[in-house]
Structure 1
């Protein structure tokens, strides 16, 4: 039924578009499985090259294995890759493609400055499957090139002729390799406010409501309680560490904040948080704050088995009793023991850390 589906909010702009095109350890372009031999053959015939059938790995798996890689090519980055600084420093070669200077740039042996989202052409696919055309609004600085152009030049230097002359050429190739995109063209996207895939011969104007006509693929919703209710842990640990700490994003901080700090409203709100909580904060429910006699901005120790951190209290109606929340919007404020917990969270493993609060006298 219209309006009753799921719309996942991804952590990165165009993340869905990347998955559509096979930027995933488990999918080829168009969500073909990496075990699909026909899908591999289609790509090989189109590109006229033999492809290795290696299974994919995510960032954490690649960098945790000391023998997996010797070189790293990174387009922008997020928190996960920064957590592997020691391993990255051991690699033979680190190449970075980015539009902004950030903490990863200091790790790179070679930096290729690339155009930002307002300095070049391309498409973005948002979380409702809407493919939208982004067109150049300003000229980039001298020497700054679109990513596709840099990669095409690198391929040429390595003896491969990637016959791309514009972002539109790449979109044309995508439409030939990804069935859901086969009806998309720059001409269509220029005259419409985006089109939702599947956009093909059967759906030339896109598909507004996905799976509406396929009952076999509809979601079945099952009533369930809040998952934290089932998160029991050792009673002895619970005695010493009665709170369940969860770590996540802030409204005005996204990954390493390279773009957010250059966007007026998020930058303003982010700076306001820094003024109010210069050492970071831990959110606690009104009920627990009242029970412990804690006041707004009071300094406390958040103590886990392995380490502790000092933060200011932020009392919130959004937090359930027995829970604590720390947004990792200022990386240097959060010690290493929380980084491990964030990795577990992103792997969908245990997503809380037993802690206790202590007043700082």
Structure 2
């Protein structure tokens, strides 16, 4: 997030796109509610009628996959009516001419034909965002999990830059992370192309710095992404895999492809706290510990580094992740002699400028938001005040790209996936708690029109099929999904919905198109 969670409550205009905030990020949704209560305008862009959409002053129920058309049309209106922040763009941005040319044909009238949003509503939204004193944007994977996912985000960034709605309190562009320490994992270099703090692997200077710190040469080529690893396993060019705290057999698109790839490995190691569906396929399972059994830090979605303190001793032979990795490293010939996670944190602070001023001693008092470059620095509540890291903010010319797979006569419905309020990710934790009694099973959301056409009754079981697989689920007839769309979560192993989803990927980020695939329903 460029800004802080609490700042959302101070915004005058909130644009939530591809985010089911009340269910996926309920604490953050409270800040949105607070802003609405004090008079802020909330506009929600979502093909489903979520609880957040019902709270909104305007729900833009677009055709799934047409985000770029909608966003480019907003930019078109703002340029046409000269609502943009000309001083901000002149002093802090570049590439305006390319942007103007790119959005020239994206009139609200054209956008209405493809998105389903009336041109008048698009114009109203553009004016409201551009003219707000403090406008903030929140988005999640409803925007990114498309073959055009990266360009979707760039189109959103164009809108933010054009209106100067960044670098100030209660503004910005704010991706809400999907799990509690995703931000921290990325910060620590758990990406194929970066060292810690987003220092590129391919850059000679950074590579030399880390080689000196770690005492050995480092490869210049970035590693494989998750999707590329699964492809390589399928092709048998990747021979072994070490999976830590992840359950790709349920979580990844085209899950049959994933399971087949893992089965072809010579050796699979899974490190987790439960025997997940992925761990059951492993040659070796290394027992890790939960958050309550270890010391360390988590970094949350607003870049806030926070201490995690051991509350109970580890069960059985389980160990903290850092202890397991250190033991393996020692056996493989690279000594790791850490005695406590604090020693690891001190090491990373020395090589990571954004974390350089953070220490366990300071975190004992309160969490700190990076960048925090010195020990006396208070942390950074919002980014890009005065200048951007790259110098000037860059506009990108992006264009609509059709989803990889759309409904047809054989597969007439569109499947959309996401989360339910009561469960978390693949259910490996929450399905082992009392939450299972509140939400015991997956129920496929189907519109009344589609249920009537198919002769389906509330709660009836159906067979849901895509080009990649079949699952069986009971249905919930709901007005939350539009005609032609069905919705399910990926929490329940009994309805392994990602056996159906499409592994077509964004060419720039290599993220799969979880949000759109063609399916059919058969009554059982």
Aligned residue for 1:330? Answer: 492
Q: Work out which of the residue numbers 335, 342, 357 in structure 2 matches 1:161.
A: 335
* 1:14–1:304 distance in 2 versus 1, CA, 3 Å: closer
Aligned residue for 2:413? Answer: 243
Deviates more, 1:65-74 or 1:300-309: 300-309
- Residues 1:64 and 2:231 aligned together: yes
Aligned residue for 2:430? Answer: 260
Aligned residue for 1:76? Answer: 245
Show the 5 A alignment for 1:283-298: 283-286=445-448, 288-289=450-451, 294-298=456-460
Aligned residue for 2:481? Answer: 319
- Residues 1:98 and 2:262 aligned together: no
Structure 2 distance, partners of 1:305, 1:120, is 43
SS at match of 2:475: strand
Aligned residue for 1:132? Answer: 306
Q: Work out which of the residue numbers 22, 31, 36 in structure 1 matches 2:203.
A: 36
Tell me by how many angstroms 1:160 deviates.
1.9
Structure 2 distance, partners of 1:111, 1:43, is 30
- Residues 1:51 and 2:218 aligned together: yes
Structure 1 distance, partners of 2:283, 2:470, is 35
Structure 1 distance, partners of 2:475, 2:467, is 20
Deviates more, 1:297-306 or 1:21-30: 297-306
Aligned residue for 2:511? Answer: 347
Tell me if structure 1 keeps the 8 A contact 2:293–2:312: yes
Tell me if structure 2 keeps the 8 A contact 1:283–1:325: yes
Structure 2 distance, partners of 1:259, 1:301, is 27
Show the 5 A alignment for 1:13-32: 13-32=180-199
Residue by residue over 1:205-239, the C-alpha shift from the partner in whole angstroms, topping out at 9 and shown as x without a partner, is: 110111233266669899x9xx99x76988xx634
Q: Work out which of the residue numbers 114, 121, 144 in structure 1 matches 2:318.
A: 144
Tell me if structure 2 keeps the 8 A contact 1:70–1:92: yes
Structure 1 distance, partners of 2:448, 2:183, is 37
Tell me if structure 2 keeps the 8 A contact 1:240–1:356: yes
Aligned residue for 1:277? Answer: none
Tell me by how many angstroms 1:356 deviates.
4.1
* 1:207–1:179 distance in 2 versus 1, CA, 3 Å: same
Tell me if structure 2 keeps the 8 A contact 1:21–1:28: yes
Q: TM-score, normalised by structure 2?
A: 0.58
Aligned residue for 1:281? Answer: 443
Tell me if structure 1 keeps the 8 A contact 2:426–2:490: no
SS at match of 1:214: coil
Residue by residue over 1:259-291, the C-alpha shift from the partner in whole angstroms, topping out at 9 and shown as x without a partner, is: 223444x434332xx2xxxxx432123454466
Higher-RCO chain (CA-CA 8 Å, sequence separation at least 6): 2
Structure 2 distance, partners of 1:217, 1:98, is 43
* 1:292–1:25 distance in 2 versus 1, CA, 3 Å: same
Tell me by how many angstroms 1:39 deviates.
0.5
Deviates more, 1:163-172 or 1:326-335: 326-335
Q: TM-score, normalised by structure 1?
A: 0.82
Tell me by how many angstroms 1:90 deviates.
3.1
Tell me if structure 2 keeps the 8 A contact 1:254–1:260: yes
SS at match of 2:322: helix
Q: Work out which of the residue numbers 382, 394, 401 in structure 2 matches 1:209.
A: 382
Structure 2 distance, partners of 1:219, 1:321, is 39
Structure 2 distance, partners of 1:168, 1:57, is 30
Residue by residue over 1:86-110, the C-alpha shift from the partner in whole angstroms, topping out at 9 and shown as x without a partner, is: 3323333222222222222222222
Aligned residue for 1:196? Answer: 369
* 1:232–1:73 distance in 2 versus 1, CA, 3 Å: closer
Tell me by how many angstroms 1:184 deviates.
0.5
Tell me by how many angstroms 1:134 deviates.
0.2
Gaps of 5+ in 2: 1-167
Structure 2 distance, partners of 1:321, 1:282, is 14
SS at match of 1:152: helix
